[in-house]
Every structure is written in C-alpha cells, then in structure tokens.
Amino acid sequence: MTLAAGDKLGPYEILGPIGKGGMGEVWKARDTRLNRFVAIKQLMGEHSARFEQEARAIAALNHPHICQIYDIGPDYLVLEYLDGAPLKGPLDAAAARRLAFEIACALEAAHKRGILHRDLKPANVLVTESGVKLLDFGLAKLAANSDQTATAAGTVLGTAAYMSPEQAQGKPLDERSDVFSFGAVLYEMLSGRRAFDGGSMLDTLNAVVSQEPAPLESPMAAIVKRCMEKQPSQRFQSMTDLRGVLEQGVAAKPVERMPSIAVLPFADMSAGKDQEYFSDGLAEEIINALVKVPGLKVIARTSAFAFKGQNADIRKIAEALGVANILEGSVRRAGNRIRVTAQLITAADGSHLWSERYDREMEDVFAVQDEIGAAIVSALQVKLSPKASVRPRYTPTLPAYEALLKARYFHWKVTAESMERAKEFYELAISLDPEYAFAQALYADYLFGRTTVGMSPMREVAPISRAMAQRALELDPSVAEAHAILGTLAATYDYNWKEAERQVKLAIESDAVSPHCHFQYALFCLLAIGRRNDAVRWAQVAVHGDPLHLVIRNFAGIALAAAGRDAEAEEYFRQVIHLDPGFFWAHHFLAEFYVARAKFAEALQCAEKAFSLVPWYAPVVGLYAGLLIRGGRVDEGEKLVHNLRPGEAYGASAGMALFHTCQGHLDQAADWFEKAIEERNSLVVVVLQSAIGEQLRASSRWPKLASLMNLPEAIA
C-alpha cells in the first residue's frame, strides 16, 4: 500500500513524508491514542525478513543515543520521531569528538547486546538538541545468532563508501567492521568530504579494499587512521576501547575552569557528642555564604552531606561531586566556648591550601563563619564582586539561630517523627526572633513539603506558608527561598502561572540561588504547563548544583520521561534507587513511568516496593492496587483500594485517579483528577504533565482538566 497524508495505519494518522530510510519509506504521523508525533517506516519491496530483524534489533536496545521503537505492524515500524538534521561536516575537532563519543556509546551498547549495525553512515546519524541519535538498524546483524540475519554468506549489503574492507568483500564480520565504518564517518565529520568516493560503486568498493584516504589534517587524525586500518587486527579491537580514547578528550575539553568546592559536614568533637546539629549547621552556613561569591561553584548541602560518617577518600568525594576542592573541619563545644578547625584541601593531590583553628565564645560564631568564608575566597583567589559584599547579613539572636539549626537538622531526616520535631523548632526560632527572615522562609518551604508527602492538606497549610514567605520578604527582599515558595504556591494552589513564573524567576536571579530553586522552577513552572524540554534543562541545572539530592534527581527523571527521553529518565530513577533503595518516590515514579510505557510487570514490581516503604501514602496505594488488579490479583487490589477513603485520607483522590489510570479507565481517572485538582493536591499538576498523563492528555477529558488548572490555551 502506498501511503499519503491523511491515511490511517491503525491508531496512527499519517501527516506527511519525511524521506527514505534504508529499506523503508519514512512518514511523520500522530499517535492518536497518546497524542504524540511518531515516525512510520513502511516496508518497500521484498525486505520483510530484514524489516522484522530491524524491529528485533532496535527493540533489544534501550539507549539515549539510539532511536527507539514503539510498535510494529505487518509492513511498518513505529519509531521515535526525532527533530534534528543528519550529521554533516566539516566540524571542529572539539565538536566532532563530542558527537563521535555519543555515537561510540550507542554502538558500544549495541555490540554488548551482540548487535552489529553494518550500515553506519552520516545519513543514519541524526543530530538533535539532546545529542546524536543512531538510526536504521535494517542491516543489523545479531552476531550471536547468525541464523537470524537474512543476509546470505558472501552477499555485500550496506553503503559502499562506509563499508569495511571485509564487508565489501562479503567476508564474515565482527564489531571491528563497525569500527572501520565509524572511522569513515569521523573522517567526513572532520573534513567535510568522503574518505572513499569513486566514480561508481565498484570504484568505491575497490578504494575501500585497496586504497588509503587522503591525509587528514586534524588533532584526531591518529584516531581516524587506526579505525580505518585495512586489517581488523590493527584497528581498535572493540567499540569500548575506541569510546575510552574519545572519552579522554571529551572529559579533557570542558575542564571546570571556575574554582569549585564542596563543604563537608563538620565533625562533632564535643565530649557529649550532642552537637551534631550545630556542627552540621555551621558547615551549612558556610555553604550559604560561599554561594554568594561570584565565580565560585559551590555544591549544595544535600550532596555534600551525603558522605557524612563514611570516612570516604577525598578524591572520590571530589570526583563524585565534580569539584576541585574540599573543605572539612570539626567543632568542639564546651559550655559557651567553641573550637572550630577547618582545612581547605586540593582534591587532586590531597595538599592543604589553607587551615585554621578558632577558639571563641559562642556569640562569635557568626564572625567565625565569615572569617572561614573570606579565607576560602582568598585561598582560591576568587574575586569577590562589590555586589556580593555590600549587603550585610542579618545576625539573629543566638537562641533563635540554634533553634533553626535544630529545625533543619530534623527536617533533613524526613521521617514522620523528625518532621514533627522540625515543626517545633521552626516555630521556636521564629518566636525567639520574629525578625529572622530566613527562618520564616524555610518554615514556609517546610509547610509546603508536608503536603507533598501526604502529611497535611494543601488548603490547610498553603495560607500559612504564603503568609510566612511574604513576611520573610518584608523583612529581607533578597531571600530567594521566599520567592521560590510563593511561586510554587501560585502554581499548585492558585493555578496562576504568570505569577508562579514571576516569583520563581526572582528566586533564580538571586545572588545566592540554590539548586532547590532551580528544581522548583523546572517542576512547578515549566513542566506543570507542558514546557517539557525547558523543564529538563532547568532540572539538569539543579542536578549539576546538587548531584546527590534524591528529590531533585528523581523529579529530573520525571521531566526526562515527560519529554520522551525514556532511557535517560529510567537511568535517573535507577541512580536514585542505587543511592538510597529506601527512597519511595523513585520506586513510585518509576512504576508510573512503566505504566505509561505499558510495561506492567515492571511497574507492579516497583509499585510493590514503594508500597512496602509507605503503605499509608494514598497515591502509592492507588497505583499499587490498580496494578494488582491489572495483574490478576483482584482480591488483593480491591482490598487495598477499599482503604482509600476520599475526604478522610489526604491524597485519596489522587490515589483513586492513579488506580483507574493504570487500568486504562480514563473517564474514571479524569473524574478523580478533577477532585484532586479541586482539593489542590500539590503534585497533581506534575502528574498530569508527566508520562503517565499522556493518554489522558490525548482524551476528550483533557480540555476540562486543563481549564480547571487555568493552563494557557495553547498548552491545553
């Protein structure tokens, strides 16, 4: 059948031609079920066996630089639709190396699964905003199962100018053949011309077998030459070896030129070992002071404190956090006296740039923080701009300061008991010093955080949280955290998207903006209104500033999945689970992701783990119950969902919405999402724009849901 715009292939509406790809003609289409663009590759001629082989080859791979397969029909493939352009040269060495590294990573992944590409050429490499995408596995050979290839022994298939000599001669192939083709592609990337370009196919094949390409003038010429050796034994012996060589150059190019530092939690050396909150707080205050220094990269508290109590090697810590310098120290407190020691260490060789000991009265703790910050700036030779130094910071009363340190100490433990203790100390800090703007802003953020884990209804805490943030800005208009929480409340409580973006932008334009503010901008201002690619960009900025923050990395995974970058999203979720197997959100949102991709067995496994960790959290209960029923465990699922009582348990409406979503009951799911929107469930705006919301956004119920959230008409 010849396709044309307007035709239907099952649920796929053909929009127009894209071009030819290998053995198929490629069309842009719309998946009417999920309301997303896809690429339809239709079989041409007699290649049905190889066409099925391409489907198997791509389906076996899951990599951010390999085009994904979504579906297969009798004579067509449904592939990821990619907005990009074929690879072209000439490129400068740095750009070519970066793209070549991504291609090598993709081929390495294929080779590890026993798959040879066999038709690597510039036309099969698409350059997109997120990097390269490797296309067209139509000639792919499953090396471990040669009977699965439709290519007879001795048959020459591929594109002549990019074949290896053994491929041109119809000889048996291994991954070193792809290495040769890779070299031909890299040659063209650097020079803008083909390595072999005869007047006919036969001339080109003869050149591949017996001639050398014209000399290449490039810093990468040696890599290209070794790839394109005529004898396979003289090439890189694996794509892993080649990728390793390229990686050295990629890593060497964007050297972190700005000074960078991580401040580790200070050790509590007090006799009673009861000053952990104080030693942690001192380190955090130093972080907050250093963040304000222009030209200095400072890792946020969560990631820096991830190594607490581990006695890890300084070099490994610095490598994990991406910094060149580490500050560590200790605190000894006795009565009203403190002794603080601090040392600034160069991670590369372990040498000390600076160290000092301070013996002071407790009232001098703020001066000690300032002195340590100034010493670090001097040791790293960072220039402090006038803007960063003119505004004196507010000095709270010492009891209020200690109460805030205790509040934050318990807040970061994030257990039901510790969160209640944190509330007591936040309120104590504010009562002891009503002018303490920073305490009011952090308390406002804490109150919103309670809603995300089901501890408090949004309607109960939002007015209090907003009042605290507004009061903080009255006292100190520069407190970024206050602007950020006002923006978050404008998004999740008011559905006022313009005000949300205005407030959070004020936060991220602050002198001392935190990765947490970047994260709030990505999630509640960008992803919530469907700006998925922008959300990914800002979420990754947040990850860069706080690389081990579980919440930030988890929600960056949500943004990546929403943007269709599935392999990267899954990797982010897996990284969080590796860092902390007890972090329930990663299991839960990975389960949602699997539901969106119809991987229900995997979803059930993740949902079961999340439920084992937080059996009281309604969204987790609802998703797990729905997946149990979908998997045939009806009695278990119905028993669980019976315990979801909307009106009694906060978040029950969202739980019921997920219960129906994972079973494909879109109308019932929409009914419950309407209730969750009315209740101002704090995460509903994110869930509806995430991967699991795709089918609902493509349904007739979406316009009303979008209207209830005041989403811009273009997004709705």
Catalytic residues: 119
Quote the Cα angle for 68-69-75, to 5°. Answer: 150
Among candidate residues 117, 150, 149, the one with its CA nearest the CA of residue 134: 117
Q: Are 15 and 22 in contact (CB under 8 A)?
A: no
Phi and psi (nearest 5°) for 607? -65, -35
**Other CB atoms within 10 A of residue 713 CB:** 8
Q: Are 446 and 426 in contact (CB under 8 A)?
A: yes
Q: Are 582 and 613 in contact (CB under 8 A)?
A: yes
Which tokens go with 164? 């290896």
**Other CB atoms within 10 A of residue 337 CB:** 12
**Other CB atoms within 10 A of residue 256 CB:** 10
Quote the Cα angle for 484-487-489, to 5°. Answer: 110
CA distances from 427 to 244, 280, 444, 483 (A): 54, 20, 11, 20
CA distances from 376 to 261, 343, 369, 662 (A): 9, 9, 11, 53
Which tokens go with 97? 């190396």
Among candidate residues 334, 335, 342, the one with its CA nearest the CA of residue 369: 342
Q: Which residues of 363-375 are buried (b: 16+ CB within 10 A; e: fewer)?
A: eebbebbebbbeb
Q: Are 85 and 126 in contact (CB under 8 A)?
A: yes
Q: What single DSSP character describes residue 527?
A: G
Neighbouring residues of 21: CB distance < 8 A, sequence distance ≥ 6: 41, 135, 136, 138
Q: Are 305 and 299 in contact (CB under 8 A)?
A: no
Going through 87-124 in order, the beta strands assigned E by DSSP cover 115-116
